[in-house]
């Protein structure tokens, strides 16, 4: 009897092991026999011979500008690849891009966005689609209407940019005796700091971003954004239980702290006369037809989304703008003349938007270094890209970067030339060829905020400084979800205006 009882667990273990082995074996056989391009039109070419099992995995991570994906996109307007037999269709033609962006068949975000969803939340307008997205987007859009941005957010942008410009003068103005003539600094760190300050003040409605709870939120935001981007390209980070635990704990702390602020703002809502911050604006947003309001968790998701999608993109685009202008003295001289013509006046939206050459500079910077180098979607039903049929659940990627470097529409594309976007030349650029903020109804909801922020920062800094590149510094690009410079070292010279 005792021996039978002792043998029973062994039988159970053996049975479980055999079952597990059978399941794993079945999965392996199914994987080896699966068609990597199931649901993808066979007429779409493959750009190169790929491993039957790994597909394009060996080509990761993709480093710009030497990325093989960038070369493939420059070579073919449409192609297909796969990752572990998960198909992906790459697009770099403006007509085909229009088919994806405007078609309801490609509303769903790519499965890779599941990694982002863990950070920004499942109700984020970055993640949702269909009726849920439309309902939330309609209310969040009230926060980002032009009048609200100009009235309630722009004064904060300008004031914050001027404070950071003064701090830069104190630490790095090379013509100050206390600094040194060849002292360089990383402008990317500077623009990250000013963008972080602007985001914190406009989201949470605080003047003091040094408060402990705000610092906790900003720390968790930065850590969460960093880990989320790294997980895209590192299986080690994706499946490491220690890093996953830290990531989840960080997200939990972040949401808890934001929830407290949302609760406090909710209690004060009757006393709030304006919407000078993102949270108050969303709490007051109401659908006129249905009376629908945003719930607390949805607001938290949008706060994190605004930070994740808006902070890095604005900060790094600003760094690229300073870098490009510093390498082209004739561009800087023309920009300074335009800014100086304003005089010492308050920076209003009307004045900032009236700076035509500054606008050209920003557009050209966004062409060369678009915030999102690719737009990834998933088919939620059968659709067509041009003449090609695409079934449900196929990933599609519009290669924005390759489109922005297309020599047919942007001659000598590696040259920084703001005049590409003057009134005459811009007529030669098809609408879907230049899409730094995507396009269509799912284009970046915060693009007007971002553009006004960039103008405010550039004007505030160029009112006080000129910049030259550090001759001994080298520049590298860290291509994650956004194109990030590892360091943009410049030398600042304080302007002495008469």
Residues at the binding site are 444
* Number of neighbours of residue 155 by Cβ within 10 angstroms: 15
Give the ranges where 370-417 is alpha helix by DSSP (H).
400-404
Token pair 């098809």 in the structure block, residue: 430
SS3 109: strand
Token pair 């990694």 in the structure block, residue: 115
Residue-wise burial string across 65-96, b where 16 or more C-beta atoms lie within 10 A, e elsewhere: eebebbebbbebbbbbbbbebebbbbbbbbeb
Give the ranges where 34-112 is alpha helix by DSSP (H).
68-75, 94-102
Token pair 């685009």 in the structure block, residue: 317
Both tokens of 75, joined, read 């070579």
What is the 8-class DSSP label of residue 465?
A: E
Tell me the backbone φ, ψ of residue 197, rounded to 5 degrees: -65, -45
How do 489-494 and 185-186 pair as beta strands? antiparallel
User: What are the CB-based long-range contacts (under 8 Å, 24+) for 75-81?
Assistant: 75/47, 76/45, 76/47, 78/44, 78/45, 78/385, 78/386, 78/388, 79/44, 79/45, 79/46, 79/47, 80/37, 80/40, 80/44, 80/45, 80/46, 81/46, 81/47, 81/50, 81/55, 81/56
Strand positions, DSSP E, 245-325? none
Q: State how far the Cα of 265 lies from the Cα of 268, in Å rounded to an integer.
A: 5
Token pair 């194109």 in the structure block, residue: 483
Binding site residue list for heme: 444
Q: Are 363 and 321 in contact (CB under 8 A)?
A: no
CA atoms within 13 A on the CB side of 300: 21
Q: Are 457 and 321 in contact (CB under 8 A)?
A: no
Q: State how far the Cα of 47 lies from the Cα of 45, in Å rounded to an integer.
A: 6
Beta bridge mates, 383: 390
Residue 59 exposed, middle or buried by CB count within 10 Å (0-12, 13-18, 19+) = middle
Residue 52 exposed, middle or buried by CB count within 10 Å (0-12, 13-18, 19+) = exposed
């Amino acid at each position: 009897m005792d021996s039978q009882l002792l043998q029973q667990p062994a039988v159970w273990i053996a049975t479980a092991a055999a079952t597990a082995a059978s399941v794993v074996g079945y999965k392996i056989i199914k994987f080896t026999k699966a068609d990597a391009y199931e649901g993808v039109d066979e007429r779409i070419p493959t750009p190169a011979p790929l491993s039957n099992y790994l597909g394009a995995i060996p080509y990761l991570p993709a480093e710009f500008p030497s990325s093989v994906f960038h070369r493939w996109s420059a070579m073919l307007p449409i192609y297909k690849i796969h990752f572990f037999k998960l198909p992906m269709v790459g697009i770099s033609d403006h007509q085909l891009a229009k088919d994806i962006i405007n078609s309801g068949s490609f509303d769903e975000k790519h499965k890779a966005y599941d990694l982002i969803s863990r950070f920004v939340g499942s109700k984020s307008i970055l993640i949702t689609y269909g009726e849920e997205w439309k309902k939330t987007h309609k209310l969040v859009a009230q926060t980002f209407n032009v009048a609200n941005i100009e009235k309630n957010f722009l004064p904060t942008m300008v004031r914050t940019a001027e404070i950071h410009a003064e701090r830069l003068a104190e630490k790095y103005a090379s013509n100050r005796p206390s600094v040194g003539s060849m002292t360089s600094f990383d402008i990317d760190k500077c623009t990250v700091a000013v963008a972080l300050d602007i985001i914190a003040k406009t989201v949470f409605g605080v003047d003091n971003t040094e408060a402990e709870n705000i610092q906790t939120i900003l720390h968790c935001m930065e850590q969460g954004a960093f880990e989320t981007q790294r997980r895209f390209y590192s299986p080690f980070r994706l499946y490491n239980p220690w890093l996953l635990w830290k990531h989840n704990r960080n997200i939990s702390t972040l949401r808890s702290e934001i929830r407290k602020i949302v609760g406090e703002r909710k209690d004060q809502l009757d006393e709030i006369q304006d919407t000078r911050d993102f949270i108050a604006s969303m709490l007051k947003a109401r659908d006129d037809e249905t009376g629908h309001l945003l719930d607390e968790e949805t607001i938290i998701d949008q706060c994190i989304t605004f930070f994740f999608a808006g902070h890095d993109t604005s900060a790094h685009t600003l760094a690229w703008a300073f870098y490009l202008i510093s390498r082209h003295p004739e561009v800087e001289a023309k920009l300074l003349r335009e800014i100086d013509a304003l005089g010492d006046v308050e920076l209003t939206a009307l004045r900032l938007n009236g700076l035509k050459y500054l606008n050209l500079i920003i557009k050209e910077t966004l062409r060369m270094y678009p915030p999102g180098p690719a737009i990834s979607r998933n088919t939620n039903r059968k659709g067509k890209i041009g003449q090609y049929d695409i079934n449900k659940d196929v990933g599609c990627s519009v290669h924005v970067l390759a489109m922005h470097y297309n020599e047919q529409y942007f001659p000598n594309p590696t040259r920084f030339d703001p005049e590409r976007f003057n009134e005459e030349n811009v007529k030669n650029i098809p609408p879907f060829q230049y899409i730094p903020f995507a396009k269509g109804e799912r284009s970046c909801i915060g693009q007007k905020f971002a553009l006004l922020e960039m103008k405010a920062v550039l004007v505030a800094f160029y009112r006080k400084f000129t910049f030259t590149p550090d001759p001994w510094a080298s520049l590298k690009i860290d291509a994650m979800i956004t194109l990030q410079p590892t360091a943009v070292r410049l030398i600042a010279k304080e302007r002495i205006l008469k």
